[in-house]
Amino acid sequence: MISITNSIYNAVALLNNDQIVSIPTETVYGLAGNIYSQKAIESIFRIKKRPSFNPLIVHIKSVHDLSQIARDIPETALLLAKAFWPGPLTLVLKKQSSILDLVTGGKDTVAVRVPNHPLTLALLQQLTYPLAAPSANPFGSISPTKAEHVATYFHDTVPMVLDGGACERGIESTIIGFENGEPVVYRLGSLAIEDIVAVVGTVKMMTHDDTTPIAPGMLSRHYAPLTSTLLTANVHKLLKTFSHQKIGVLVYQNEIYNQKITAQEILSPKGSLTEAASQLYAALHRLDKLNLDFIIAERFPDVGLGKTINDRLQRATKK
Ligand code: TXA
Ligand code: MG
């Protein structure tokens, strides 16, 4: 049985014993292990049913530890780290040779970030090693933003969730890689691209290629509920095409009045994209439990975190 507790002491004991622990971050919960423990890292891949070519993110306690993990760090990467760490930004950099191939999926690069959650930062302070952690969900499914989501997924296979409450951001970190020192977006996330541009001038968007994704988070079906999901700019119009199905609706700001709707999630009545992002996965988890025939999601404004939300909703529609 999984134990849900806020005891850092218990987490340290498990991790020092090559076990894995689910940790809270400001983005989503992670499934964490000692980056230098072959055994712990193997358990993460096995429990998550994650393909071994899909690398993990290394979580460090501060930018001062970066040189133990990465080398030849571009100036722009340091600028971004200084601006946004601790925070929802992951940098993909050349790896130090001490980093296990298992962590990086055999790549010569490593993904690294400083998470912004007080419990996990306190935990990292007490460890002599960083933590490798993917999101704490089975491969392809919706990421967990609460300890109970993790417990539902892994009650028999993970010994402990360090309960840090609901994740403040609610969507994974933004991943940035570098080509000739120039920043490239590998995955949209909780840090808006506009905020990154404000620091480094311009960023390139990684073009989409499903067969050879640089970050498998770019695989088109990912972050997906089990219920068939549709994305539309006009929920009313799409509802007209249904008659007897059980429909759940997910909207940004304004409630939709229509008798065909069984359940409705309004992500931010006050119209804040930050709030909507923080609520997105929890809402999808709730809708997914209702045995609906379809979830209809409303397309978000294509700015700031709206871009990230549309990216995740788009992936949720793929079968
Ligand atoms: O917010 C987050 O980033 C959360 C929390 C727990 O930190 N973690 C997370 O991990 O979302 P995961 O494993 O679900 O997604 C990490 C993504 C994957 O798409 C992986 O392919 C990519 O990062 N990645 C890791 N190492 C990489 C590398 N060397 N090059 C390119 N992509 C990499
Ligand atoms: Mg994930």
DSSP structure class, residue 67:
H
Residues 170 and 285 in one domain: no
Distance from residue 136's CA to the centre of ligand 1 (Å): 12
- Domain membership flag for residue 300: yes
Residues 246 and 288 in one domain: yes
Distance from residue 80's CA to the centre of ligand 2 (Å): 22
Of the candidates 205, 237, 258, which is a domain's last residue?
A: 205
Q: Which residue has the tokens 């988890």?
A: 285
Q: What CATH number is attached to the domain comprising 265?
A: 3.40.50.11030
**Residues with a beta carbon under 5 angstroms from ion ligand 2:** 135
Cα(212)–Cα(285) distance, integer angstroms = 29
CB 214 near ligand 1, within 6 Å: yes
- Mean pLDDT to the nearest integer, 1-10: 96
Ligand found nearest the CA of 134: 1
- Domain membership flag for residue 212: no
CB 54 near ligand 1, within 6 Å: yes
Residues 64 and 152 in one domain: yes
CB 135 near ligand 1, within 6 Å: yes
Residues 255 and 164 in one domain: no
- Domain membership flag for residue 56: yes
Ligand found nearest the CA of 137: 2
Helices 118-125 & 8-16 angle (0-180, nearest 10)? 50
Residues 191 and 284 in one domain: no
CB 81 near ligand 1, within 6 Å: no
- Domain membership flag for residue 153: yes
Ligand found nearest the CA of 185: 1
CB 104 near ligand 1, within 6 Å: yes
Ligand 1, atom 23, residue with closest C-alpha: 215
- Per-residue pLDDT tens for 188-224? 999 999 999 999 999 998 865 544 555 655 556 667 8
Residues 152 and 294 in one domain: no
Residues 178 and 246 in one domain: no
Statement: residue 86 has pLDDT above 80: yes
* Residue 18 pLDDT: 98
Ligand 1, atom 19, residue with closest C-alpha: 217
Best probe residue, ligand 1, of 102, 135, 176, 178 (max atoms within 8 Å of C-beta): 135
- Per-residue pLDDT tens for 249-302? 999 999 999 999 999 999 999 999 999 999 999 999 999 999 999 999 999 999
Of the candidates 170, 205, 240, which is a domain's last residue?
A: 205
Residues 50 and 186 in one domain: yes
How many structural domains are present in the chain?
2
Q: What CA–CA distances, in Å, run from 34 to 11, 153, 309?
A: 12, 21, 31
- Domain membership flag for residue 220: no
* Residue 211 pLDDT: 46
Of the candidates 169, 190, 205, which is a domain's last residue?
A: 205
Residues 51 and 200 in one domain: yes
Residues 235 and 200 in one domain: no
Residue 171 DSSP SS3? coil
- Domain membership flag for residue 85: yes
Residues 6+ away with beta carbon under 8 Å from 241: none
Ligand 1, atom 6, residue with closest C-alpha: 30
CB 299 near ligand 1, within 6 Å: no
Residues 36 and 164 in one domain: yes
* Residue 206 pLDDT: 82
User: Could you tell me the two tokens for 275?
Assistant: 């709030």
Residues 92 and 26 in one domain: yes
In terms of residue numbers, what domain contains 43? 3-205
Mean pLDDT of the chain, nearest integer:
94
Statement: residue 162 has pLDDT above 60: yes
- Domain membership flag for residue 221: no
- Domain membership flag for residue 195: yes
Q: What CATH number is attached to the domain comprising 84?
A: 3.90.870.10
Q: Which amino acid appears at position 12 of this protein?
A: V
